[in-house]
Amino acid sequence: MPACVFPAGPAAFRSDQVVRICPPFYAVMRTRLTLKPGQRGTRKLVAKYGDRLVCVRYRYDEERKKRYKTVELIVEETDWEPRDGRIAGDAIVGIRVGYQELELRRKVKRAGGRWNPERRVWEVRYDRVVEMGLEERVVEVFTRERS
């Protein structure tokens, strides 16, 4: 049987080619069961993949009436240092301010805050949030500067 391929389109193959397309991951499949290594139903896969096995999933494609057993594997391991969790002072963060908190809204505006109606948060520089003592209201940290 040929290897799994992902065709670029109908013109990608001649009509006489036999092509097997791997499980259609672009299709809507529901995951009904996720098993951790060592759970019932994973013994053979644990024997095959050992410590690299992260989990086994059963996915169902209702359109094609197929069940797929998939595995998640660790394929690479490297050292990594987690960040200390601190937010840079010039980072833009989203904070929640209640509609009725008029004085607090004015304070946030004076600190340069802008209302983002799509995200429903006030966007303010983090160092100003700290100055106002509103760190517990931070709900989002944005990775880039706002325009």
Question: Could you read off the pLDDT of 56-71 as tens digits, one per residue?
Answer: 999 998 888 999 999 9
- The C-alpha R_g of the chain, in whole angstroms, comes to 25
- Eight-class DSSP state of 135: G
| Local confidence band at 24 (pLDDT 50, 70, 90 cut-offs) | low
Query: What per-residue confidence (pLDDT) applies to 132?
Result: 93
pLDDT of residue 41 exceeding 80, the answer is: yes
- Number of residues that make up the chain: 147
Note whether 124 and 112 are within 8 A (CB): yes
Mean pLDDT of 111-124: 92
